[in-house]
Chain A
Amino acid sequence: MLYFQVLLNGLALGGLYACIAAGFSLVWGVLNVINILHGSLIVLGAYLAFFAHQRFGIDPFLFAPVAGLALFALAYPLQKYVVNRVMGRPVLITLTLTFGLNLFLDNAMLKFFSADFRKITLESPWGLLDLGGVLVPTDRLLATATGLALVFALWLLLRNTQLGRAIIAVRMDSQAAALMGIDVNRTYALAFALGAFMAAWAGVLLSGIFPISPVTSSVYLGKAFVICVLGGLGSIPGVIVGGFALGIIESFGTLALGPELALTLAFLVLIALLMFRPSGLLGKRGFQ
């Protein structure tokens, strides 16, 4: 029963983790940029939700789209005027650029929000759901379901809309996409902004479950790394598989080694996987 409970704890975070990594994977896949800023965007989204709840009493689940749109509006010009200038350059250049942006945003948040850990505490907590002997916190379940639904919505967007098809076309071959009349630069900016939208939404969902602080941004970035490598780059199903895999690894890691080493274990799994299967469990070229 204990193992079942631990497994369930992991599963209850899987959808949320998929949501954390979906935007990161999209940006990596389409722009070929490792967005070190992603963790900071998640934390910024979480802070927006925290202040909306503290000042105006808005429920985080209702606030999530607002935070998403706010970061979408922030990220679009950021890509257009800054990140786009290094597109196609070597990894070292693109990674260093987003690292500089990450330093700036983290420091700005540290200055304005302080390093204190904060967490949204709802007036009427949802409590625990009893599933015949095993318990699941209802808020986690709801957050994971919402995250999963959002990732599914992204999948539908990529499959069925003109924008989504343009993004996939650019990911497969940006030059051929340009010849077919797709505005490649605009698609890059939209994909980057969409990544920020997903990050903000994930951050809002996190804000009610984990304490947030600007210093935690690298933790979420690390989780996004692991999920993308586990599931394989460039596929939405991969992100979902990776998210649940990370949730399970972390919860069993916590049981066996204690909570401090859970993410370390995930990193070791990442390195081991990269040694033997660099393309991940479900990696493929098109972003489907």
Chain B
Amino acid sequence: MNTRLITGLLVAVAAVLALMFTADNYVLRLATTVGMYAALAWAWNLIGGYAGYPSFATAAFFGLGAYAAGVFQSFGLPFALAWPLAGLLVAAFAGMLGRAILHLRGHYFAIASLVIADVLRELTNVWTDVTGGGMGLNLPLLSLGGVDGQTQFYFLAMLLMAALALLISWWVDRSRLGVALRCIEQNEDAAQVIGIDTRSSKVAVFMLSGLVAGATGAVYASWVTYIDPTDVYDVSLSVKPIVMALIGGVGTLMGPLVGAFVFLGLEELLWRNVLEFHAGLLGLLVVALVLFLPGGVRDLRRYNVWNGLIRLAPWKRRTT
């Protein structure tokens, strides 16, 4: 353990405690959303960043996790058991799905992963007895001592998901699996030639991605207490994590966290000012991001923003 890591951890814990006991419920809700976004972005980054597979299955994992946890709880399971079970179920689903579609490359993989959420949504819609169909599913309200207690509890729960995602990403980042995935990302055929079991590596990381996204969906379901198929299988849940990873830097350890913060800030700004057209502006933002900052905020260096600002500053003008 080096000192930087310990300092970082201490600062993070202090920030969390400070937020929990001083911030109002609005700020706490935003912080909970950051936790959720960061967890999803990390989950995507595992398969999309390290392995370089353009997965659009995040919404499928998230929705399946939300519904699994909801159904488990409607059968009387406590949330503390329902959440991890939902995560494991989604991981198992991701394992089967991965065996079926991870041999596809490029566009074909993207399309196959994109339609999974649609299939699951329709199946959820039809299976009315268990899922409530299009009417949605109500989850039991946990008795946690009023509104403030609820908010603080879900803030911590979502942070736990983000921490789990970070921990898994950190492990993958420095493990043999991570090396294998980076080889696959660069050249899959060559990776196979040097003896990497590409198939198992891809399936393994897809399962980890499913575990994180599924458990996050499970927590989300309890947090909002009501889920319906169009909400939790929404395609934007697949796209937002990608945008966040693009903002922060695809395939990096901390990129998803940076992206989650920046993205939520932008989203909140759009929601507040142009409610009716926020999805459209989000689209323009995505286009601008892809065109001008394909490597994320790191690319800002290329544009010399900082130097430009300094040059514009009035007190510097004389010295030029």
Contact = CB atoms under 8 A, between A and B. Distances in A.
A104 B126 contact: no
By secondary structure, the B interface counts as: helix
Contact of A264 (B114, B118, B235): B118
B290 A260 contact: no
A101 interface: yes
A278 to B, nearest CB: 6
Interface stretch (B31-39, B105-113, B139-147, B187-195): B105-113
Contacts of B122: 260-261, 263-264
B170 interface: no
A83 to B, nearest CB: 10
Nearest to A280: B108
A149 B211 CA distance: 49
B277 A260 contact: no
B294 A82 contact: no
A104 to B, nearest CB: 3
Contacts of B279: 103, 106-107
B184 to A, nearest CB: 14
A18 to B, nearest CB: 18
Q: Place the interface of chain A in its size category.
A: 35 or more
B285 interface: yes
Interface in B76-134: 100-101, 103-104, 106-108, 110-112, 114-116, 118-119, 122-123, 125-126
Contact of A107 (B110, B280, B287): B280
A44 to B, nearest CB: 14
Nearest to A264: B122
Contacts of A96: 239, 242-243, 246, 286, 290
Interface string A27-45: 0100010100000000000
A108 to B, nearest CB: 6
Contact of A92 (B242, B278, B287): B242
Contacts of A100: 282-287, 289-290
A82 B291 CA distance: 8
Contact of A222 (B54, B112, B115): B115
A225 B115 contact: yes
Given A100-B283, A222-B115, A34 B290 contact: no
Contacts of B282: 100, 103
Contacts of B54: 90-92, 95
